[in-house]
């Protein structure tokens, strides 16, 4: 029986996400040239790299938000490469875009309640508002009247309700005050404790080191290195060279 | 006061009522255009033809199948809306990756074909559709005589316009629609079927036009050109109100109907151009329209 089950499962069950030779194009320009990485269930993994390396494109390609992509993206042993974004969302992957995507014609409350629940086990509205108390006082405000930090919290908060346990977060700390960055860091730690798996695109290396288990370095549309967070001190020189910081 | 202005109250109130009735149609039609434009980014030039189809399908339902007016008010928007769904699926959906102009050209071409078919089938002299017996006659309000059917048109239009506004601005389904209008890609990434929403929205906008057509059938003669005559004014209304604004479309529709009515009282020579003069002024002063959001 066990053998039979293994034959049906092409990828080892240890991976929540397995990306193999992922290539992607924006119109005619070839952005990703073969991205390979894995994410284990319950892990927080970052994609590090310079501007234009292809980190955001990697997240968008996983989510099916890019015109043309090839290779393989397996999520819980299901192949996503041919699926449209809405089908990928329904399998339990939630995406928080870099620009946050708060809708100006919706109130904070409507923004929060917008993503449909796709499976049980998500946070309740009350849980989410306890996690982000600032939002509770602003529920009837227009979504885009919130500060940048509050908009980022709202963008994360609304995908926690859906039951998706696999989060793709694109630069959640970009342009935010240090105190807000700390709050987001604590939130990610809480989510990890609750069993969420997170792939994070980050420019802020110190933030990445404070929350992640492992780091993948992306350069020119390829993953060129992987550094476990425990070995980060011994690899600082190498990382600085990669990131040019 | 009326005597001072040299205008008998009957004429004033009569024209105000006429303006309100015209405004009822402007509001329903520009509302449909605004809903469609908001999500599809397409100026639906076949809107007038679809309004005309509403009147014709009501006439056919009554003549061939014996469907009474009240049944037609429900059935006709569904039938004509379904043709809209088919048109969106088969044709309009193929144009989303192109410039908006192509959607306009396609729907304009469709309007000409639809009108041509009805002209060919029914001629241009117009067909009669009688007022339902419950609404025949009128009420004497003391200062004027109010035909019951016309009062009903205003009430029905207000109800449908307000209902549509409520559904879009105050419900969860409306929140999906507003969100998809802003950022369809992200809404799709939440697991919502945006293409289906777009199809149904077009169908709904077309159904609104057909509903207006049924309302119009007993007032105006059922005629293949009835939409073409009206739609030009409705486009002016949409430009004045601001493309894509739901409340703007409703308020401007009724408001301009009344302004047009008043022009007929005070300066009849200008009545047919009053709306276009207002449009020109609005375009100069506030190009996004009175209720439009500047991008």
Predicted local confidence at residue B3, as pLDDT: 57
Query: B197 to chain A nearest CA, in Å?
Result: 13
pTM of the model: 0.89
What SS3 string covers B89-128?
HHCHHHHCCCCHHHHHHHHHHHHHHHHHHHHHHHCCCCEC
Predicted local confidence at residue A13, as pLDDT: 53
Residues of B in contact with A108 (CB under 8 A): none
Q: Taking CB atoms and an 8 Å limit, are A104 and B185 in contact across chains?
A: no
Q: Which CATH architecture has domain B2-124+146-285?
A: Orthogonal Bundle (1.10)
Domain ranges of chain A: 42-64+85-243
Domain ranges of chain B: 2-124+146-285
Q: Taking CB atoms and an 8 Å limit, are A113 and B172 in contact across chains?
A: yes
**Contact predicate A171/A98, CB 8 Å:** yes
Predicted local confidence at residue A124, as pLDDT: 94
Sequence-separated (6 or more) residues with CB below 8 Å from residue A125 = A112, A113, A161
- Confidence check: pLDDT of A127 > 80: yes
Contacts with A, B 178-207, CB within 8 Å: 178-179, 181-183, 185-194
Predicted local confidence at residue B141, as pLDDT: 83
Hey, is the C-beta of A91 within 8 angstroms of any chain B C-beta? Answer: no
Using only the alpha carbons of chain A, give its radius of gyration.
18
Helix, strand, coil percentages for chain B (3-state, nearest 5): 75, 5, 20
Q: Give A110's pLDDT tier (boundaries 50, 70, 90).
A: very high
Residues of B in contact with A106 (CB under 8 A): 175, 178-179
Helix, strand, coil percentages for chain A (3-state, nearest 5): 40, 25, 35
Predicted local confidence at residue A245, as pLDDT: 62
DSSP assignment letter at A107:
B
Q: How far apart are CA B97 and CA B140, in angstroms?
A: 56
Kindly state the percentage of chain A with pLDDT values over 90: 83
Q: Give A12's pLDDT tier (boundaries 50, 70, 90).
A: very low
Cα A45 to Cα A16, A209, B29, distances in angstroms: 12, 10, 53
Q: How far apart are CA B123 and CA B87, in angstroms?
A: 25
Q: How far apart are CA A156 and CA A115, in angstroms?
A: 11
Hey, is the C-beta of A205 within 8 angstroms of any chain B C-beta? Answer: no
Q: How far apart are CA B38 and CA B45, in angstroms?
A: 15
Looking at the partner chain, which of A64, A95, A114 has a beta carbon nearest the beta carbon of B179?
A114
Hey, is the C-beta of B295 within 8 angstroms of any chain A C-beta? Answer: no
Predicted local confidence at residue A7, as pLDDT: 44
Predicted local confidence at residue A194, as pLDDT: 94
Kindly state the percentage of chain A with pLDDT values over 70: 94
Q: How far apart are CA A229 and CA A219, in angstroms?
A: 19
| List of long-range contacts for B95-100, beta carbons under 8 Å, 24+ apart | B95/B42, B96/B40, B96/B41, B100/B41, B100/B42, B100/B43
Q: Taking CB atoms and an 8 Å limit, are A104 and B172 in contact across chains?
A: no
| Top-tier CATH class for A42-64+85-243 | alpha beta
- Confidence check: pLDDT of A4 > 80: no
One digit per residue, the tens of pLDDT, for chain B of length 295 reads 555 567 777 788 888 899 999 999 999 999 999 999 988 988 999 999 999 999 999 999 999 999 999 999 999 999 999 999 999 999 999 998 888 899 999 999 999 999 999 999 999 888 999 999 999 888 888 878 889 999 999 999 999 999 999 999 999 999 999 999 999 999 999 999 999 999 999 999 999 999 999 999 999 889 999 999 899 999 999 889 888 788 889 999 999 999 999 998 888 888 889 999 999 999 999 988 888 765 4
Predicted local confidence at residue A1, as pLDDT: 41
Q: Give A8's pLDDT tier (boundaries 50, 70, 90).
A: very low
Q: What is the mean pLDDT of chain A?
A: 91
Instruction: Report the residue count for chain B.
Output: 295
Q: Taking CB atoms and an 8 Å limit, are B191 and A86 in contact across chains?
A: yes
Q: Taking CB atoms and an 8 Å limit, are A105 and B179 in contact across chains?
A: yes
Give the tens place of pLDDT for each residue, A168-218: 999 999 999 999 999 999 999 999 999 999 999 998 888 999 999 999 999
- Confidence check: pLDDT of A5 > 50: no
């Amino acid at each position: 029986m066990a053998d039979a089950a293994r034959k049906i499962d092409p990828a080892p069950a240890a991976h929540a996400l397995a990306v193999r030779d992922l290539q992607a194009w924006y119109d005619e320009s070839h952005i990703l040239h073969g991205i390979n990485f894995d994410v284990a269930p319950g892990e927080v993994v970052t994609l590090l790299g310079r501007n234009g390396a292809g980190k955001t494109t990697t997240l968008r390609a996983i989510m099916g938000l890019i015109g043309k992509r090839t290779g393989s993206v397996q999520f819980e042993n299901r192949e996503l490469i041919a699926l449209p974004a809405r089908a990928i969302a329904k399998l339990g992957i939630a995406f928080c875009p870099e620009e946050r995507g708060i809708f100006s014609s919706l109130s904070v409350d409507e923004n929060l309640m917008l993503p449909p629940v796709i499976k049980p086990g998500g946070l309740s509205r009350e849980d989410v508002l306890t996690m982000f108390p600032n939002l509770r006082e602003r529920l009837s405000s227009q979504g885009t009247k919130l500060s940048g930090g509050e908009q980022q919290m709202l963008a994360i908060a609304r995908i926690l309700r859906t039951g998706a346990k696999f989060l793709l977060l694109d630069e959640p700390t970009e342009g935010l005050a240090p105190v807000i960055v700390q709050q987001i860091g604590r939130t990610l730690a809480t989510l990890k404790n609750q069993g969420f798996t997170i792939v994070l695109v980050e420019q802020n290396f110190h933030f990445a080191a404070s929350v992640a288990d492992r780091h993948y370095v992306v350069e020119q549309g390829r993953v060129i290195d992987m550094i476990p967070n425990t070995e980060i001190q011994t690899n600082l020189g190498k990382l600085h060279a990669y990131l040019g910081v | 006061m009326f005597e001072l202005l040299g205008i008998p109250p009957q004429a004033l109130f009569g024209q105000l009522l006429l303006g309100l009735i015209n405004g009822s149609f402007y509001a329903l039609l520009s509302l449909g255009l605004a809903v469609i434009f908001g999500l599809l980014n397409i100026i639906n030039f076949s809107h007038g033809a679809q309004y005309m189809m509403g009147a014709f399908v009501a006439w056919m339902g009554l003549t061939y199948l014996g469907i009474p007016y009240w049944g037609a008010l429900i059935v006709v928007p569904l039938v004509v809306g379904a043709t809209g769904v088919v048109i969106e699926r088969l044709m309009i959906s193929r144009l989303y990756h192109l410039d908006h102009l192509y959607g306009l050209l396609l729907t304009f071409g469709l309007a000409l074909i639809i009108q041509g078919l009805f002209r060919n089938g029914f001629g241009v002299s117009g067909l009669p559709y009688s007022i339902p017996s419950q609404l025949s006659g009128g009420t004497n309000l003391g200062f004027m005589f109010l035909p019951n059917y016309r009062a009903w048109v205003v009430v029905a239009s207000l109800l449908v316009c307000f209902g549509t506004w409520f559904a879009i601005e105050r419900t969860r389904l409306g929140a999906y629609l507003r969100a998809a209008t802003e950022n369809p890609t992200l809404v799709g990434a939440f697991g919502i079927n945006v293409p289906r929403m777009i199809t149904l929205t077009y169908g709904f906008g077309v159904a609104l036009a057909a509903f207006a057509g049924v309302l119009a059938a007993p007032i105006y003669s059922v005629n293949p050109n009835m939409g073409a005559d009206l739609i030009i004014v409705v486009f002016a209304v949409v430009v004045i109100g601001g493309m894509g604004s739901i409340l703007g479309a409703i308020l401007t529709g009724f408001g301009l109907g009344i302004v047009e009515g008043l022009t007929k009282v005070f300066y009849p020579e200008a009545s047919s151009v009053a709306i276009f003069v207002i449009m020109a002024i609005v375009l100069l002063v506030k190009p996004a329209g009175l209720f439009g959001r500047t991008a």
